[in-house]
Amino acid sequence: MSLEQGYQIVFGPFRLEPSTGRLQRGDQAVALEPTPLAVLCYLAQRPGQLVPKQELIKAIWRIFVTPAVVKTCIHALRQALGDDASAPRYIETVGRKGYRFIG
């Protein structure tokens, strides 16, 4: 997949534009802090792939952060997407390993 202008990832009622950092639900913008948005873009560009927490930390933060920071970020994403960790529709937790975009 390329990140050219106009490239979109559509899942459920959401439209994500990685190149512009926009997330929309229908015609409305979804308010999301930059870091959770970066995590969503990273995961969504790797659909179905297990992304280990350490890979997310290296790709997004590029400094040392604890896995708890990643967990907090994923929680913010789930709230914005209306996703439920116990019955995920968009982001799946792979026990103690990482996360998978399943949107």
Q: What does the chain come to in residues?
A: 103
SS3 for 98? strand
Domain total in the chain: 1
**Position with higher pLDDT, 63 vs 78:** 78
- Is residue 1 over pLDDT 50? no
**Residue 9 belongs to some domain of the structure:** no
pTM for the whole thing?
A: 0.84
Domain at 37, CATH number: 1.10.10.10
Look at residue 67 in the predicted model and tell me its pLDDT: 87
**Residue 90 belongs to some domain of the structure:** yes
Look at residue 46 in the predicted model and tell me its pLDDT: 95
User: pLDDT tens digits, residue range 2-44?
Assistant: 344 568 999 999 999 998 889 999 999 999 999 999 999 999 9
- Could you tell me the residue range of the domain that residue 48 belongs to? 33-101
Residues 6+ apart with CB under 8 A from 36: 73, 74, 76, 77, 80
